[in-house]
Amino acid sequence: MVSCVASYLYFLKQTCCFYFSIKTSNLFENPTLPFFIHHFSLMENPFNLFLLTVFISTTAAAASDQITNIFGANHSFFLFPRNFLFGTASSSYQFEGAYLADGKGLSNWDIFSHEPGNIVDGSNGDVAVDHYHRYHKDVELMEYIGINTFRFSISWARILPKGRFGNVNIAGIKHYDKLINALIEKGIQPFVSLTHYDIPQELEDRYGGWLSPQIREDFAYYASICFKHYGDRVKYWVTLNEPNVVAIRGYRSGIYPPARCSATFGNCSSGDSEREPFIAAHNMILAHAAAVNLYRAKYQGEQKGSIGIAMNTVWYEPISNSSQDKQAAQRAQSFYMNWFLDPIMFGKYPEEMENILGSLLPEFSDDRLQNGLDFIGINHYTSFYVKDCLYSTCVQGPCISKTEGYYLRTATKNNIPIGEPTEVDWIYVYPQGMEKMVTYLKNRYNNTPMFITENGFGEMHQAGSSINSFLNDDKRAEYMKCYLDSLVSAIRKGADVRGYIVWSLLDNFEWSSGYTTRFGLYHVDYTTLKRTPKSSAQWYKQFILNFTSFEAVNRSTS
């Protein structure tokens, strides 16, 4: 009898956790439960315990129906681990503005965006959304949603206007001190990237930026300054954001700075698309390693933080079940993502790259590369089909060249898209891609801790669009729900994922798209810079509220 009672008590505890998490979320009220608890002597009469369990289970099931109406059948917020981070993201160039304020130097994006033809709407990030001057208000917007982490990047050129060839800009140091303190005061953990596409233009002019080994020393020097000044409060560091995108768009297609490419790959004044992406990538990998080794040797023991890298990820689905197309999908991952993660984790480039590229790949001589991160940041938005072009004939299209891996990337199969198309031409809604991507990384890299460092839904700013058309962004909320459900599925199968960060808090400057694409949970009027919450901000707020309510009840009863 005692063991039966113990079993019932355990089940009752779990059911009560569920019940009270819903009750604290104000989804329903039931005044009769206190009567049951007060008048039933549970241990003296186990049958009363059974009746109470049935009662709570029934009312909890009713609440579950109400949750289903709001969040969908999976009730994802109940299934994330304790201490899970929910946040939003930004980057210095896209948000801050103040591009010459308080001693900041010019970055590569300051120069690039001012050159005619580089940004589709002719805009730049001189003002952006003026986060530099409005960060206090923006932190209040974060507090309203209820996030517990905010991912932002430090402007390298704001801290070191001339790299290691000049002085530290104290005004820049103080700005990020104030931002970090403002976040912590609101219970929001800073999740900090050292660079998010931008580097001081001084380094580009002096020695060619990422094409020179000298940048490794510059990056380590810059990282050390950041660790020294902010590491007592920053517990999550990202060395590089999407270095694969920097290498490909900066040195293969030339659509990002420094705008280098060969004539067959883009319209650039100089460059070598066959070689330079691999040189730049090699220096980024070694710069990452230098920062990680420095952090581990000098700062991590005392500061107790963790350090990783954030990769742009795409789920590549074989277009058929043929072995050639399956190999092509694996090759696509190796030439896009594993290109960086394999050297960082295993000390060498992927076998598929070595077999195809041979001497085009630089060699590693530093055995300190292995296990060179504490977590993997996953920026994930979309998925594509992949067709083999190594053993099969392909028409012209994306990624078919030798340096890209001999595969054809396509969004359609038999004229049917892989997922619902969106207004942003590279985003297809394929939620399964999230689970598949996370599971792939789990299996390849021994379930290294992971964070979803970006996931978001974009809409195009059409001429004449009303503000209401952007505020009523139900598609964004649905996108987030579906991708969170998919993420939960991966977590339930053992993936060590510790956070989910939405791109983005605010509409902002979206690189070569300028201000034509909106990803924010808050709408920004680019004339007045007024921030207005969209429906998706309200949805995310309610999602987080229910998660934190459930977590709090779980803690109090454990």
Beta-strand ranges (E) seen in 367-525 are 375-388, 407-410, 412-413, 416-417, 420-421, 428-429, 450-454, 459-460, 497-502, 517-518, 522-524
pLDDT above 70 covers a percentage of the chain that reads: 84
Range with lowest mean pLDDT among 38-52, 189-203, 514-528:
38-52
pLDDT score for 79: 81
Q: Given a cut of 50, is residue 163 above it in pLDDT?
A: yes
- CA gap 253, 266 in Å, rounded: 5
Q: Given a cut of 70, is residue 361 above it in pLDDT?
A: yes
Split at pLDDT 50, 70, 90, the class of 13 is very low
- CA gap 386, 73 in Å, rounded: 31
pLDDT score for 63: 44
Residues 374 and 348 sit within 8 Å (Cβ to Cβ):
no
Residues comprising the chain, all counted: 558
pLDDT score for 473: 97
Q: Given a cut of 60, is residue 1 above it in pLDDT?
A: no
Q: Which residue is listed with tokens 């779990």?
A: 14
pLDDT digits (tens, 9 = 90+) for 49-85: 444 444 444 444 444 444 434 344 445 666 899 899 9
Average pLDDT over residues 103-124: 99
Q: Which residues contact 512 (CB under 8 A, 6 or more apart)?
A: 118, 119, 120, 255, 256
Strands 497-502 and 450-454: parallel
Apex 489 CA angle, 488 and 494, nearest 5: 90
Q: Given a cut of 80, is residue 100 above it in pLDDT?
A: yes
pLDDT digits (tens, 9 = 90+) for 177-196: 999 999 999 999 999 999 99
Q: Give phi and psi for 75, each to the nearest 5.
A: 50, 50
pLDDT score for 367: 62
- CA gap 281, 287 in Å, rounded: 10
Residues 65 and 161 sit within 8 Å (Cβ to Cβ):
no
Average pLDDT over residues 421-445: 99
Distances (CA, A) of 26 to 30, 292, 541: 11, 45, 14
pLDDT, greater one: 524 or 558: 524
pLDDT score for 548: 83
Looking only at Cα atoms, what is the longest distance across the chain? 86
Q: Given a cut of 90, is residue 123 above it in pLDDT?
A: yes
Strands 236-241 and 412-413: unpaired
- CA gap 95, 230 in Å, rounded: 20
Split at pLDDT 50, 70, 90, the class of 397 is confident
Q: Given a cut of 70, is residue 446 above it in pLDDT?
A: yes
Catalytic-labelled residue, pool 204, 276, 454, 459: 454
pLDDT digits (tens, 9 = 90+) for 473-510: 999 999 999 999 999 999 999 999 999 999 999 999 99
Range with lowest mean pLDDT among 21-35, 147-161, 541-555:
21-35
- CA gap 215, 143 in Å, rounded: 37
C-alpha 470: how far from its chain's center? 22
Label residues 368-386 b or e (16+ Cβ within 10 Å = b).
Answer: ebeebbbbbbbbbbbbbbb
pLDDT score for 366: 66
pLDDT score for 554: 67
Give the residue from 524, 480, 503, 531 showing the smallest Cα distance to 87: 503
Total-model pTM: 0.88
Per the annotation, the verdict on 454 as an active-site residue is yes
Split at pLDDT 50, 70, 90, the class of 43 is very low
The DSSP code sequence of 110-152 is: HHHHTSTTSSTTS--SSSTT-HHHHHHHHHHHHHHHT-SEEEE
Average pLDDT over residues 524-548: 96
Split at pLDDT 50, 70, 90, the class of 23 is very low
Q: Give phi and psi for 195, each to the nearest 5.
A: -150, 140
Average pLDDT over residues 532-542: 98
CB atoms within 10 A of CB 450: 24
pLDDT digits (tens, 9 = 90+) for 285-339: 999 999 999 999 999 999 999 999 999 999 999 999 999 999 999 999 999 999 9
Q: Give phi and psi for 505, each to the nearest 5.
A: -60, -50
pLDDT digits (tens, 9 = 90+) for 230-257: 999 999 999 999 999 999 999 999 999 9
The overall average pLDDT reported for the chain is 89
pLDDT score for 466: 84
Return the HEC string of 151-162.
EEECCHHHHCCC
Question: What are 316's strand-pairing partners?
Answer: 384
pLDDT digits (tens, 9 = 90+) for 376-386: 999 999 999 99
pLDDT score for 555: 66
What three-state secondary structure class fits 306?
strand
Distance between start and end Cα atoms, the chain: 23
